[in-house]
């Protein structure tokens, strides 16, 4: 979805209290926001909870969203902060057995500069992943993030193994170009 389409949805949410527009915005952005939350939290249930809380905040702030200059960055910051706050809350309730994030509030190994660079690279990665064609993105996520085999992906998507390989190569080259720019 393009920036003008997103702006149109945000205006509809503000001016008409349009739940339909909000639902389209939700459907369009949920996966991306979930991946960001999961990057910080490393637990699916926690990531889902954080993302739903952020969407509730977005709905409650729908009157100011059209004025936000970059909604993509705004959502990223909301998710990041909500995830880090959730981690702090969880750490107070039960001390962790191991450190799961090298840049979270409990991190001791990385400098603030390293954490900032890591977060910026991750933000670029997520943006680049979202800009991939749908089939290309799906193949990449299944192979690289979900660790499915080429044969498994080919069978599930009803495509050849060569197509899986071609789509993966296409995704990798586009992601590398976007991240290195």
The tens digit of pLDDT for each residue in 83-105 reads 988 888 887 776 544 444 455 54
User: Under a CB-based contact definition with an 8 Å cutoff, are residues 74 and 68 in contact?
Assistant: yes
User: SS3 for 57?
Assistant: helix
Question: pLDDT tens digits for 50-67?
Answer: 999 999 999 999 999 999
- Phi/psi class of residue 147: alpha, beta or left (left: φ > 0; alpha: ψ in -120 to 50)? left
124: tokens are 């670029």
Give ∠ CA 86-37-32 in degrees, rounded to 5: 155
1-92 adopts what CATH topology?
Answer: Rna Polymerase Sigma Factor; Chain: A (1.10.1740)
Going from N- to C-terminal start, the domains of the chain cover: 1-92, 115-180
Specify the pLDDT at position 122.
80
What is the C-alpha to C-alpha distance for residues 121 and 39, in angstroms, rounded to an integer? 12
As assigned by CATH, the class of the 115-180 domain is mainly alpha
Question: pLDDT tens digits for 167-177?
Answer: 999 988 888 88
């Amino acid at each position: 979805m393009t920036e003008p389409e997103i702006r149109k949805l945000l205006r509809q949410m503000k001016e008409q209290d349009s739940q339909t527009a909000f639902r389209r915005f939700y459907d369009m952005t949920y996966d991306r926001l979930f991946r960001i939350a999961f990057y910080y939290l490393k637990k699916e249930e926690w990531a889902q909870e954080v993302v739903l809380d952020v969407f509730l905040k977005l709905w409650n702030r729908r009157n100011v969203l059209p004025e936000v200059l970059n909604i993509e960055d705004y959502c990223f910051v909301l998710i990041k902060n909500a995830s880090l706050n959730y981690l702090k809350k969880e750490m107070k309730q039960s001390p962790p057995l191991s450190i799961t994030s090298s840049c979270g509030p409990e991190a001791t190994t990385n400098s603030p500069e390293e954490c900032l660079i890591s977060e910026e690279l991750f933000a670029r990665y997520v943006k680049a992943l979202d800009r991939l064609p749908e089939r290309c993105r799906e193949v990449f996520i299944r192979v690289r993030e979900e660790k499915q085999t080429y044969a498994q992906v080919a069978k599930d998507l009803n495509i050849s193994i060569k197509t899986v390989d071609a789509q993966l190569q296409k995704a990798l080259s586009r992601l590398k170009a976007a991240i290195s720019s």
